[in-house]
């Protein structure tokens, strides 16, 4: 987890902390969220019971453009796009169909899309913005922490600002003391929750 500057799991049971560190690592890797998180502190206490995750995010400025995942080859009367992966295929096709119309867009196989008789050049196609990862990162983070948190902890509270977030879950109703707990966990990382 090289890109995370600070990553700690705090738990009264040392073995439990070790397992939760591994689970967090696996889940964040699976969801491609490792690069998004800058600092992360997790506190689990099965005795209370409570699960708190507080974190600081990297600044997400990048937009996903066609050139990031596809090679755009201009040929006579058509532009052939060869995709390196399918992650953004669906949103890209949606944009193409809206912009160029169904008659001009053809997907010949899983990784190849052909644009016929379109009025734009290859450079313009390369620059088309397909996705804004920052829009979905909040949903992805919450989903990931739902997987990480102990399963019976179904009462949740989460907050997400521009570069910080917290996720609290418990089996019992959450009290006002949770706010102080979240603040103290941010303080452990040398941060202040806005």
Partner 1 sequence: MIFVPVTYRGGVYRHNEVVDLIEDIGGYIVQKQVIASDVVLLCFVPKDDVEQLRSFAKPLGGEVIDSPLVGTEIAVVIPSLEIHHLPHPACDIAEYLRRLGAKSNMVGLARGVGKRIAALNDEERDVINEHDIAVYVLGNFEKCIEHKMPILRRGIEVPIVLCGAPDKEALQRITDPPVEGYVGNVGRFMHRTKESEELAKMDEIIAEITKVLDTKRVSIAKDPISVSPARLMDLIKEHVPEIHDVTSPTPLTVQMNGLRVKLPYDTFAGQIRSIEIEDGVKIGDVSDLTPSRMRDYILIRIRPFSETNIVV
- Residue numbers at the binding site for partner 1 (CB under 8 A): 13, 15-16, 19-20, 22-23, 26-27, 30, 44, 46-47, 49, 147, 150-154, 171-172
Residue 2 C-beta: closest distance to partner 1, Å: 18
Residue 1 C-beta: closest distance to partner 1, Å: 14
Pick between residue 45 and residue 68 the one whose CB is nearest to partner 1.
Answer: 45
Burial class of residue 133 (count of CB atoms within 10 Å of its CB; 0-12, 13-18, 19+): middle
Contact status, residue 117 vs residue 104, Cβ threshold 8 Å: yes
Pick between residue 88 and residue 167 the one whose CB is nearest to partner 1.
Answer: 167
Pick between residue 34 and residue 147 the one whose CB is nearest to partner 1.
Answer: 147
Burial class of residue 70 (count of CB atoms within 10 Å of its CB; 0-12, 13-18, 19+): buried
Among 185, 192, 193, smallest CA distance to 41 is for 185
Residue 142 C-beta: closest distance to partner 1, Å: 14
Residue 30 C-beta: closest distance to partner 1, Å: 7
Contact status, residue 156 vs residue 169, Cβ threshold 8 Å: yes
């Amino acid at each position: 987890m090289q890109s995370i500057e600070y990553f700690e799991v705090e738990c009264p049971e040392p073995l439990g902390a070790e397992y939760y560190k591994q689970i967090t690592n696996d889940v964040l890797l699976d969801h491609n969220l490792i690069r998004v998180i800058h600092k992360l502190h997790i506190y689990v206490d099965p005795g209370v019971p409570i699960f708190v995750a507080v974190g600081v995010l990297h600044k997400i400025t990048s937009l996903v453009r066609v050139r990031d995942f596809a090679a755009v080859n201009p040929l006579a009367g058509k532009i052939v796009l060869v995709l390196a992966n399918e992650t953004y295929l669906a949103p890209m096709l949606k944009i193409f169909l809206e912009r160029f119309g169904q008659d001009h867009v053809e997907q010949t196989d899983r990784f190849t899309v052909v644009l016929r008789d379109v009025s734009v050049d290859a450079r313009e196609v390369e620059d088309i913005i397909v996705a804004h990862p920052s829009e979905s990162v909040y949903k992805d983070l919450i989903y990931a922490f739902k997987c990480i948190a102990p399963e019976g902890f179904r009462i949740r509270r989460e907050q997400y600002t521009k570069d910080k977030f917290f996720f609290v879950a418990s089996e019992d109703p959450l009290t006002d003391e949770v706010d102080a707990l979240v603040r103290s966990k941010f303080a452990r990382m040398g941060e202040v929750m806005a």
